[in-house]
């Protein structure tokens, strides 16, 4: 519910889904690069890379 609330608060598109990608890179460095690109593209409030933009979703850790 928090995921949906925060996305609506910041007028972000809400897409709740989970999937396993069989074509993800086997190489750890390549996987981390892909993850970072997706985080920056979708800018979810739940990723710490975007906390400067939205604040921390559950308060300070």
Does residue 30 belong to any structural domain of this protein? yes
The segments of the chain whose pLDDT lies below 70 read 16-20, 59-61
How do residues 36-50 score in pLDDT, each as one tens digit? 888 888 888 878 888
What is the total count of domains within the chain?
1
User: For residue 4, which of 41, 59, 19, 15 has the smallest C-alpha distance?
Assistant: 15
For position 53, what pLDDT does the model report? 85
Encoding tokens for residue 46? 């739940």
Does residue 15 belong to any structural domain of this protein? yes
Does residue 18 belong to any structural domain of this protein? yes
For position 54, what pLDDT does the model report? 85
Side-chain-side CA neighbours of 54 within 13 Å: the count stands at 22
Structural domain for 21, as ranges? 2-54
């Amino acid at each position: 519910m928090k995921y949906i609330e925060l996305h609506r608060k910041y007028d972000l598109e809400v897409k709740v889904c989970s999937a396993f990608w069989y074509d993800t890179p086997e190489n750890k460095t390549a996987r981390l690069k892909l993850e970072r690109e997706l985080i920056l593209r979708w800018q979810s409030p739940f990723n710490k890379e975007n906390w400067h933009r939205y604040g921390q979703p559950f308060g300070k850790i």
